[in-house]
Homo-oligomer: A and B are copies of this chain.
Amino acid sequence: MKAFKTANESDARGNGFIPNLAIDVVVFGFHDSQLKVLLVKYSKTDYVALPGGFIKVDENLHDAAERVAKERTGLNNIFLDQFFVFGDMSRYNAQPFREVMEANGMPAKADHWLLNRFISVGYFALVDFTKVTPTPDKLFDSCGWYDLNALPALIQDHAEIISKALNALRDRLDDKLIGFNLLPEEFTMGQLQALYETILGKKLLRSAFQRKMLGLNILERLAKKYTGAANKAPYLYRFKAK
């Protein structure tokens, strides 16, 4: 969960928001053959966390997730998928928030709504890395990409949330063909394979991979891409929506 977003969140009562319920969004990007995750760091402390937020009392849950994702990426039409609800008492630890609030000159009274126990709905977002503008909260955090293989220490259970998000992404990759959301509009077969290998965490055979992808009939072949390399130029492809 992530605190201090819109005007009302700093209200000690949390007026206008559903209490005890948060959203955490794992925003995945793909760059330099690496999976990246968008994280925020609270100012004046070193706490690193997932982008998160709360649900307005009259807001659709999915809209709240979109709002959170849009605030941190600057993007519209983000691919978002629910994957798990985190509701163990063991995840409850208000200490980081208390410190953040105090470090930023905010009275952290014991009954402040943000210091209560929260259950959090986990979403993952798949975005085109090149289109994202990591956007910090105006008041309380910085925001940026981190390598999935070199994550810093995260508050509460946010490391576990990322881990479960990655598992969900892996599970749904073949059935739901959602990987394309991580690539730019046009891409080569090599880039697509690198993406799959990175997500699945294993090497794939080039020949079989290409045959499979082309056999799915979801790729439109475009012009060749002359990279300047001393070899045959690969074709560009575009994902064919149904």
Min CB gap A177→B, angstroms: 15
A55 within 8 A of B: yes
Q: How large, as a class, is the contact surface on chain A?
A: 20 to 34
> How many copies of the chain does the oligomer comprise?
2
Q: Which residues of A (56-107) have their CB < 8 Å from a CB of B?
A: 57-62, 64, 82, 84-90
Q: Which residues of A (110-143) have their CB < 8 Å from a CB of B?
A: 117, 119, 121
Min CB gap A176→B, angstroms: 10
A179 within 8 A of B: no
- Contact, CB under 8 Å: B57 / A85: no
- Contact, CB under 8 Å: A119 / B21: yes
A20's partner among B19, B62, B86, B88 (CB-CB below 8 A) is: B19
A233 within 8 A of B: no
Residues in B whose Cβ lies below 8 Å from that of A59: 89
A18 within 8 A of B: yes
A residues contacting B by CB (< 8 A) are 18-21, 55, 57-62, 64, 82, 84-90, 117, 119, 121, 171, 175
